Structure 1
Amino acid sequence: MKQSDIIIEQLNRISGLKVRRTTAPSDMPRDGVWQSETLCSTVFTVPCGNKVYAFEIDGYGAAERVTASLARELALGMVSKTAVFDEPVRAFLDGVGDIPQGVHLGKADYYVFAMYSKDLAKNVREYLNAMAYSCDFVADMGDGVTAFCKRLDNDCDYQSAGEFASVLKENLTEEIKGNVKIGVGGVAHGASELPQYYAYAKSALINGAEYDPKSDIYSYKEYALIKALSELPEATKEKYVKTVLDRNYRDVTADEELMAAADAFLQYSLNISEASRNMYVHRNTLIYRLDKLEKLTGLNIRNFADAVTFRTACLIHKML
């Protein structure tokens, strides 16, 4: 969508005005609002990067001037809030364009995310634009993927990009009433690192959907391990899985109830109560399944070391 179309869509939706694109008159005043009694119209301009867009509403007079001024301020706020629009950012994050105007050039850190929601991507972007600060930015990357770069300040309330992603996921689910998957690229140190960390976030999103489709948040740091493990010879992978999960590992991995219990337990940080609540099963049922898993594999995943071993073996098994 063109930048001017985005502005028009947002203005019409938020304000209820009938705004349309027009050509700026040559004698446009410095305050950005121009009126024509002959045409019975009011024009206002909105600078956006290296371009200036002109928009028109019907009517002429003091009331229309005030309305146009307010619409102009609203549009300027939109431009400021998203900092830059989709196309320049998309090219930049894809590694084929320069740093767009509006992106802070200092050494500020950013949380970088790639977010996927095929049918609700537009709703995701609208929500992010509404909650973003002026130094954050959002871009449509195509195919249902939205990039979100959250600039960090000194009083950031979150310990990590992963923690922020969890809160963002919860809020988005509540707001748009649909599912969103989030790839977490990590923390980019300065604008020059944004393309690299967006690539990490997108890679996490792709690998996560393949190896752990039931989850919704994927960290690149975890899938960096997957990338390294994927380069192992097939015979080595199978030998490792047989050793860790026992030779009857295929029976274990084919048991959907057992694997769902293990996945939930690991997802909720080895917390029996949290995992059982989110699975909608009694905690004793979950304990029974974890005991059964230990009997079959010899791994007690309530123990952190065994949980890591089991998780790694399952990832490798999915590569076979």
Structure 2
Amino acid sequence: MDSELNILLNSIKEKTGINITVYAESMKYVISTSDNPCPIEPSDPQFESVFADAANNRTFFRLKYKNARLVGMIDGVGETEKNYAYLILNLIENSSNRELQLSQAEYLKMILLGECNRPQVQKYMRKYAVPPLETYVMVVANRDNKNAEIINVLSNFSTNASDAALEMEEGIAVFVKFIDEASDNEYQSAAEYAGFLQQSILEETGVNVSIAVGGRVSSLAEASASYQQAMTTLRMSTAMNSKGEVHTFKEFILVKMLEDIPKFKLNEYLEILLDSDAKSVFSDEEMLNTAEEFLENSLTMSETSRKLYLHRNTLMYRLDKIERSTGLNIRKFSDAMTFRLITYLFKLRG
């Protein structure tokens, strides 16, 4: 309890700026946000709820945390301190009671949203026998709002007893995957497994979902980071009009780095890289789609022609036109990378 309550008190202090001391009436248990806590007894030991003790210049309040009855104390007296005391005791008691009332899905949702501290995550892991395995989070998006059907399919195709599928919001489900090397060696990567799930959902429900995969983290305690990465991946794949239904955070690391650059800098880089002829290519949906498909197909002429239903000569004409306008021969890997970079910059600028 010490570590959980300590984290909670420090969190309240960060928001209010008030030092809080909490102790048992026996004085055997003391926890405080102050570097030099000095718990004292109120002048009225029989006080109820909140007591502004002018004699000690302290405001005291009684609270119950878990099964322990405690006394809280803050400096000062007056209406402001009294209101803060009521606020603090409600925050502490609600935090304690909320965990007891949560379902497993609600508890896990709080963990993914980053609303649980490490002791609370560890408590979840003990309660539901979750092993300390590496994990990652997939965000499964659908426009038909068929989360229940999708969650059912995800649950049926889990490979670890601790894997969990749940709804985050309308049209968004998540799949928390625990990595057990003994049972997860069928797939080469998280992206391959996500592709299998995407196809299975389509076959089972008729819903064509998009899956964004967050990075691998050391345990469930870090899963909120993987969830945020997956949500970022979903947002960026949509903004970039990325082809395919499965994307990973690693695909968009470069985009994330570029996104963090101030917009005026993005504009400077674009002015350096583009002249008026080049800008026309990035504003031409047909030319841009041709280039993107060519890059997606590993710079392969035959596969790109097949995917776009284009004659090879037509494709060559378009690639030549791109080279004339931009100075980039995207048949070459280095130029293709530069073209992709400019595409990202162009889309980020909006």
Q: Tell me which interval the TM-score lies in, with the shorter structure as reference length.
A: 0.5 to 0.7
State the AA in 1 paired with 2:172: V
Answer yes or no: is 1:130 the counterpart of 2:152: no
Which residue number in structure 2 is paired with residue 66 of structure 1? none
The unaligned stretches of length 5 or more in structure 2 are 1-102
The aligned residue for residue 128 of structure 2 is 102
1:240-293 Cα distance to aligned partner (Å, 9 max, x none): 224334443331112111111112222233333433333343444333322321
Tell me by how many angstroms 1:115 deviates. Answer: 1.2
Distance 1:279 1:172, change over 3 A: farther
Structure 1 247/225 Cα, relative in aligned 2: closer, same or farther at 3 Å? same
Larger Rg: 2
Residue matched to 1:289: 318
TM-score, normalization by structure 1: 0.66
Amino acid paired to 2:200: N
1:111 aligned partner, one-letter code = Y
Alpha-carbon offset, residue 235 of structure 1: 3.8
Q: Distance in 1 between matches of 2:335 and 2:227?
A: 32
For residue 103 of structure 1, report the CA deviation from its aligned partner: 5.7
CA distance in 2, matches of 1:87, 1:318: 36
Q: Kindly tell me: are residues 146 and 300 of structure 1, through their superposed partners in 2, closer, same or farther at Cα, counting changes over 3 Å?
A: same
Equivalences, count = 236
Q: What is the Cα-based RMSD across aligned positions, in Å?
A: 2.4
Identity, in percent, stands at: 34
Structure-2 separation of matches of 1:139 and 1:215:
23
Matching residue of 2:292: 263
Residue of structure 2 equivalent to 1:89 = 108
Relative contact order, CA 8 A, sep 6+: which one is greater? 1
| Deviation of the 1:141 alpha carbon | 0.7
| Residue identity matched to 1:92 | I
Match of residue 208, structure 1, among 231, 237, 249? 237
Q: Which residue of 1 aligns with 2:170?
A: 143
Give the conservation status (yes or no) of the 8 Å contact 2:131–2:162.
no
Change (3 A) 1:109 1:231: closer
Secondary structure of the structure 2 residue equivalent to 1:228 = helix
- How far apart, in 2, do the equivalents of 1:234 and 1:175 lie? 44
Measure the CA separation in 2 of the matches of 1:136 and 1:295.
52
Residue 266 of structure 2 corresponds to residue 240 of structure 1 = no
Quote the residue 1:307 is aligned against.
336
How far has the Cα of 1:192 moved from its partner? 1.5
Q: CA contact under 8 A between 1:86 and 1:141: conserved in structure 2? A: no
In structure 1, distance between residues paired with 2:300 and 2:201:
24
2:137 to 105, 112, 116: 112
